[in-house]
Each structure stands twice: as structure tokens, then as C-alpha cells.
Amino acid sequence: MGDGLEGRLSQDCFGYPLSIFFIVVNEFCERFSYYGMRALLILYFTRFIGWDDNLSTAIYHTFVALCYLTPILGALIADSWLGKFKTIVSLSIVYTIGQAVTAVSSIHDLTDFDHDGTPDNLSVHIALSMTGLALIALGTGGIKPCVSAFGGDQFEEGQEKQRNRFFSIFYLAINAGSLLSTIITPMLRVQLCGIHSKQACYPLAFGVPAALMAVSLIVFVIGSGMYKKFQPQGNIMGKVVKCIGFAIKNRFRHRSKAFPKREHWLDWAREKYNERLISQIKMVTRVMFLYIPLPMFWALFDQQVLKAGLLELQPDQMQTVNAILIIIMVPIMDAVVYPLIAKCGFNFTSLKKMTVGMFLASMAFVVAAIVQVEIDVSCPPIPQCPFLRVGWGVQEASFSGTAGRPRTNEFMTFDVDKLTSINISSPGSPITPVTYNFEQGHRHTLLVWDPIYYRVVKDGLNQKPEKGENGIRFVNSFDESFNITVGENAFVNVTSHNASEYQFFSLGVKNFTLSSTQQIPQNCTKNFQSSNLEFGSAFTYVIRREDTGCPKMYEFEDISPNTINMALQIPQYFLLTCGEVVFSVTGLEFSYSQAPSNMKSVLQAGWLLTVAVGNIIVLIVAGAGQFSEQWAEYILFAALLLVVCIIFAIMARFYTYVNPAEIEARFDNEDEKKNLENMNKYATVAPISQTQM
């Protein structure tokens, strides 16, 4: 064969090549390194470097996009130049250096010359971190298609079952590394470290992933003597591009009906290129054509944030939940579900599995829509008309001629166009009209201190807080400003007879500490507690000075918490994870099994490219606009995915599975026969004896 194979020490363990265990451990350590580092990036950008949320998010997504685009480069290097083994080792060294540089960039003492705990030259840290991330993107993306393909190379003909299970174990290692890293590295970050001043320990949190990447590289190199290594065949991608270009050009030249049609459009390259190369390109193009609908699966799956019941899971939380479910479901699918389907006599091919995976993901969005409808019914959306709250000391208020005293813990809904007047009155006092230009679609609070002294505050919170958090604000009825500390957050300079902006907190009881410019008597408490905050609520706390001179806190509920049972989330996450396991693990195995020996990494990179395109689709759709109803968005996602599922199923119906090894073996036999014929043709005539002479 043209694809040379280096010798190896053949060792098996439980029917599997011993070499794959080094590859699986390598992948676990590498994924721990990558996801552990990635889990810290946003916090590092915002809290250490000091970028705002928008810039931090933009840099973060650019980095992730690069990690999914560089696999093409890694695949080209592996299949055309260095081979998979040398590519993995070389780019892993680059990867390890990148992780180390990123860890060094987070050492605040590096430029903290005045020892105040703050870096004096952020440009150095930014330059180092960007260099480190660029190296990491090149390294992780470059080895990504090579490691899985290299693992598949270790199996012999007839070991298809073991190879399929290897891809399941490989995917399990990815998610196990992801799960542990996203739990451990945030715990390391909150430790305090430093030479001159103690700060959040980013160097340790980034340093552990860097160390794991070094371990990954060492483990991979240790198994070197056991690997089956195929040598690259030169610039294969250059040949592929030229062959395809020649076929198209040749077909265009012979577009006249006078020339007979050929079975496949690539057959028009026969005049210049051999049958082996044409056949290999046919294998790749058939699979790549099948991949066209797949980015839509990743576009929808990567939404990841599924609002359900009590809270909204964000990507970092979803990553943890998703990884746990995958670790549970991969063995169940592999050891229970697939064998059971086989015993029933159903031919559950790779493409059928992928179709079922799409369908399950589609059903996950249907379930999410049903749960969202339940949420909307149990917790009606907050009206977008102005709301008014009347505060202390009000005897009577009339709204557009309707008299009545609203309760102090209740918002009232009005239509701006119909709300002609608001008047405040109290026995023995003149009527005071409220003059304010209310904005349609915004909540407002009317604070009334006495019949002639009021203030209208625009709330700035027109919907439930995001991420399942709880909004808290304070109203100051003191004659001077005060500050309030809530955990790590501070409400600074809440002015007299005014309200602060909302800040957002997780669930649980919160402790407040009050500090005022005016002396508070020693016997008075300055510490207060909130009620037990749940999910998606908002509260206003009014601080009053009692007759004794002591402050007292009054709590008012602005937005009620969610009440849907959290158990309703389980079915959608279960379906989504099952869909991913059936779809993604099978896709890895299918991409390998249908690729010719000299383009295994290229086709793996093509599979990863569908993920990158899916992410781009998400960015485009996200910028196109938002739905007014969340459940409608989920139904649209489900419908789109179902349409893609049907299209993919139809395309898969016409796909013919091939065995690249058999096809290449046939060409090898033909080449051997041709070589023998040539040898016979040019065989030398027997030498003439002296007698004949």
C-alpha cells in the first residue's frame, strides 16, 4: 500500500488494543485542561483584566470559534505532512505552552510593582493572555480531529464492534474531563494566593489545566511503541482540490449532448487522475454532502439555555448537567439499548441512529415549550403598562378620577393614554397633583412621604430577572444618604427619599449591613435579613428611622417567585442528552468508518466543522430578533429540527455504505497485478550459450 505502516508492539487487553487506553487517558486530561481553562475566562476578563461584559463575551466567543475552525488545519497537517502521531505531539506541545502562558498572564504580582494587589501594567497581562489563547486555539483545534481518528486506526479489520465502543468510551472521556474540570477549577479560583497581596488565585486555577495538558502529552508519548502509525501520502488535499477542479472543468468542456454521460461527475477526472484517488474523493464528498443539514442540529442544541420551571440554566451550569447525564447515558446506550434493539432484529445503522438523535432533540424542545406554557399560566407575564406604588403617609389617592387607597405592597396597572391625572390628598391638606411623563411599557414606583412631598421612580425592571436570580433594591426614607452591603455587593450612596437600582442575587437568605453618614444609636441594630429568596423574584426594602432613632426595614414583594416544580425540567434534559449521545457518538464513528485511510482526519475535521457552522447560525439568528413568547421560540426550534431530521432521513435513505479498506485493498490487488504484468512484459531473454554462438 502507498500508506506505509510503522511496526508496533501488538498488545491486547479485553479484546481491545492496549494503545487505545493511552489515547483515552490523553483525551480525558486534554478535555479537563480545555474546559477547566474555558470555565474561568469570562471571570478572568471581567474581574482581573477589567473588561466590560460585552467585550469579554466577544473575546470569549471568538476564542471558541477559533477552536472549531483550526481542526481543518490540524487535519491537513496530519493527513498530508506529519501524520497523526507527530501532529498530535507537536500541537500538544504548542497547546501546553499556551496553557502555561495563560497561567503566567494571571499572576498579578508580575506587574504589581507597588504591591497594592492591582497589576500596574495590564497591557503585559493582556498580551500574554491573548498569546496564550491563540496557542491554545491552535493546539486544541489542531489535535481534535487527529486524536479520535488515531484511536480508530488502532483497530484491525474485523474489530468494528470494538471500534464502535471505543468512540463511545472516547466521548465518555470527553465529558468526564469536562465535568470534573468545571467543578474543580472554580474551587481553585476562590482560593487566595499571592506574594505581596492575597487575591483570587487565577494562577492556580489556570495552572492546574496547564499541568493536566502536560500530563496528557506525557501519557500519549509513553504509549508510542504500541501505536499503529500510518505515514502520510504527501499533499493529499492539494490532489483532492486539483482533481475536483479538473472534473468540473472537464465536465463543462464536454457539456454537449454529443458526449455520453458518466455515472458520477467525478468520473470526468479519469483523463488525468487514477481510479483510486477518484474513488477516495467520492467517499469523502458523499459523506460531506450528507453533513449539509447537520449544523442545524448543533445550532439548536447549542442554545443550551432552556428556561424551565424554577430557574434558567446557563451554559456553565448546563455543561455540568449535560456532562453528568452523558456519563450515565453512554454506557446505558452502549450496553443495554443498542443490544436490545439488535436482538429485536432491527438494523439500527449509523445514519438511523443519527436521525433518531435529531428527533429526540426536537422532542426536547417540544417538552420545553409545554413547560414554558405551564410557567406562563402559573406566573403571568408582568404587564408592560406603568405600575404605581404609593408609599408612606398617604390617606387617599385618586387615579383618573377613581378614588381609593392602593395597598403599599401592590403594583397597580394603568394605561398611559387613559391615565389623565393622579392626585394625592390627606385630611386637612390640599390636593397635590402628580406631574410625571410616564413611559409606556415601563414600571414606575410612586413614593409618597407626605401629602405634598412625593417622588416617581422608574424601576428599570420590566420582566422577571434572568438566570433565576432575585432583584433587590432599597428605598431610603432617612434625611441623609446611606450605604448598604449585601454579601460582596454594595448599594453605595442611596440618596435621601429615593430608591436604589436593582441588583441581582442567587437564592437563599441575604444579610444586609447598613451604614449611614448620621450616627445611629449604639443600641440599634444595623444588620437585617431578607426572607428566603427563591427563583425569579424581586423585592423592595424600605428603610425607615423609627421614633427611637433606630432604623427598621420593611419588605415588599415586587415580582413573585416561580412556582413550577423543578422536576418538570428532567424530561427535556433527558431527551436532549439522549439525542446528543445517539447523534454525536455515532457521528464520530460514522465519519471514521466511511473515510479513506489517507483522509480520516480530514473527515473528522469536516464533522467538527458542522459544529462551527452551527455556532455561526446561532449568532445570526440571535441577532435577527427575539420572540415575544418563549414557548413559541421553542416550538419553532422543534419544527426546524424536525424538518432537518426529515431531510436528513431522506438523504440517508439513498446513502450507500462503503468499506474503504476493502475498496483500497481491491486497488492494491489491481496494482500488484499490473506490476506483475509489467515485469513479465519486460522480462529479459535467457543468455545465449557459447555452443549456440
Query: Of the segments 48-62, 451-465, 554-568, which one has the largest average pLDDT value?
Result: 48-62
Query: Collapsing DSSP states into helix, strand and coil, what is residue 404?
Result: strand
Q: How confident is the model at residue 105 (pLDDT cuts 50, 70, 90)?
A: very high
Residue 266 domain flag: no
The answer, yes or no, to whether residue 314 has pLDDT greater than 70, is no
Query: Collapsing DSSP states into helix, strand and coil, what is residue 682?
Result: coil
- Point out which residues pair with 444 in neighbouring strands: 458
Q: How confident is the model at residue 689 (pLDDT cuts 50, 70, 90)?
A: very low
Give the separation between CA 309 and CA 290, rounded to whole angstroms: 37
Residue 369 sits at φ, ψ, to 5 deg, of -65, -40
Residues 385 and 510 both lie in one domain: no
The answer, yes or no, to whether residue 595 has pLDDT greater than 80, is yes
Q: Tell which wins on pLDDT, 554 or 623.
A: 554
The answer, yes or no, to whether residue 316 has pLDDT greater than 60, is no
Nine-digit cell string for 113: 510593582
Residue 687 domain flag: no
- Point out which residues pair with 505 in neighbouring strands: 470
What pLDDT score does 112 carry?
79
The answer, yes or no, to whether residue 383 has pLDDT greater than 50, is no
Q: DSSP string spanning 413-476? A: E--TTT---EEEE-TTS--EE----PPTT--EEEEEEETTEEEEEE----SPPGGG-EEEEEEE
- Point out which residues pair with 432 in neighbouring strands: 424
Count of domains observed in the chain:
4
Residue 137 sits at φ, ψ, to 5 deg, of -60, -40
Give the separation between CA 49 and CA 485, rounded to whole angstroms: 24
Q: How confident is the model at residue 385 (pLDDT cuts 50, 70, 90)?
A: very low
- Lowest mean pLDDT: which of 45-49, 540-544, 667-671? 667-671
What pLDDT score does 567 carry?
66
- Point out which residues pair with 351 in neighbouring strands: none
Residues 289 and 168 both lie in one domain: no
Cβ 484 vs Cβ 549: under 8 Å? no
Q: Give me Rg for the CA atoms of the chain.
A: 33
Residue 447 domain flag: yes
The answer, yes or no, to whether residue 411 has pLDDT greater than 70, is no
Q: Tell which wins on pLDDT, 12 or 596.
A: 596
b/e 494-531 (16+ beta carbons within 10 angstroms → b): beeeebbebbebebeebebebebeeebeeeeeeebebe
The distance in angstroms from the start CA to the end CA of the chain is 45
Residues 479 and 387 both lie in one domain: no
Q: How confident is the model at residue 33 (pLDDT cuts 50, 70, 90)?
A: very high
Strand duo 387-388 + 229-230: pairing: unpaired
- Lowest mean pLDDT: which of 165-169, 541-545, 587-591, 688-692? 688-692
Give the separation between CA 555 and CA 510, rounded to whole angstroms: 13
Burial class (CB in 10 A: 0-12, 13-18, 19+), 295: buried
Residue 674 domain flag: no
Average pLDDT over residues 604-631: 73
What pLDDT score does 379 carry?
59
What pLDDT score does 508 carry?
86
Domain limit, last residue, from 232, 266, 293: 232
In Å, the largest CA–CA distance within the chain is 151
Residues 28 and 166 both lie in one domain: yes
What pLDDT score does 434 carry?
77
Segment (H or E) for 188: helix 160-189
Residues 323 and 466 both lie in one domain: no
The answer, yes or no, to whether residue 305 has pLDDT greater than 50, is no
What pLDDT score does 100 carry?
96
- The domain that contains 471 carries what CATH number? 2.60.40.2890
Cβ atoms within 10 Å of 643's Cβ, excluding its own = 13
The answer, yes or no, to whether residue 64 has pLDDT greater than 90, is no
The answer, yes or no, to whether residue 251 has pLDDT greater than 80, is yes
Q: Tell which wins on pLDDT, 444 or 153.
A: 153
Residues 512 and 638 both lie in one domain: no
Distinct helix (H) and strand (E) counts, the chain: 19, 25
- The domain that contains 581 carries what CATH number? 1.20.1250.20
Give the separation between CA 498 and CA 446, rounded to whole angstroms: 10
Give the separation between CA 205 and CA 217, rounded to whole angstroms: 20
Residues 79 and 147 both lie in one domain: yes
Cβ atoms within 10 Å of 78's Cβ, excluding its own = 30
Residue 456: closest CA among 481, 468, 439: 439
Residues 68 and 168 both lie in one domain: yes
Give the separation between CA 354 and CA 293, rounded to whole angstroms: 12
The answer, yes or no, to whether residue 550 has pLDDT greater than 90, is no
Nine-digit cell string for 37: 481553562
Residues 481 and 387 both lie in one domain: no
Average pLDDT over residues 256-279: 86
Give the separation between CA 286 and CA 657, rounded to whole angstroms: 10
- Point out which residues pair with 476 in neighbouring strands: 498, 543
Query: Collapsing DSSP states into helix, strand and coil, what is residue 243?
Result: helix
Residue 158 domain flag: yes
Q: How many residues does the structure list for the chain?
A: 693
- Point out which residues pair with 192 in neighbouring strands: 200
In the predicted model, what is the mean pLDDT of the chain? 81
Burial class (CB in 10 A: 0-12, 13-18, 19+), 3: middle
Dihedral sign from CA coordinates of 573, 579, 585, 587? negative
Domain limit, last residue, from 543, 559, 575: 559
What's the pTM value of the predicted model, to 2 decimals?
0.71
Query: Collapsing DSSP states into helix, strand and coil, what is residue 155?
Result: coil
Residue 2 domain flag: no
Give the separation between CA 143 and CA 669, rounded to whole angstroms: 33
DSSP-derived letter for residue 333 is I
The answer, yes or no, to whether residue 490 has pLDDT greater than 90, is no
Residue 264 domain flag: no
Q: DSSP string spanning 275-302? A: HHHHHHHHHHHHHHHHTTTHHHHHHHHT
Residue 161 sits at φ, ψ, to 5 deg, of -65, -45
Where in the sequence is the domain holding 532, given as residue range(s)? 462-559
- Lowest mean pLDDT: which of 227-236, 354-363, 374-383, 581-590? 374-383
Residue 453 domain flag: yes
Residues 479 and 496 both lie in one domain: yes
Average pLDDT over residues 271-288: 89
Give the separation between CA 302 and CA 299, rounded to whole angstroms: 5
Query: Collapsing DSSP states into helix, strand and coil, what is residue 486?
Result: strand
Residues 545 and 589 both lie in one domain: no
Average pLDDT over residues 410-417: 61
DSSP-derived letter for residue 260 is P
Burial class (CB in 10 A: 0-12, 13-18, 19+), 229: middle
Residues 510 and 576 both lie in one domain: no
Domain limit, last residue, from 528, 559, 590: 559
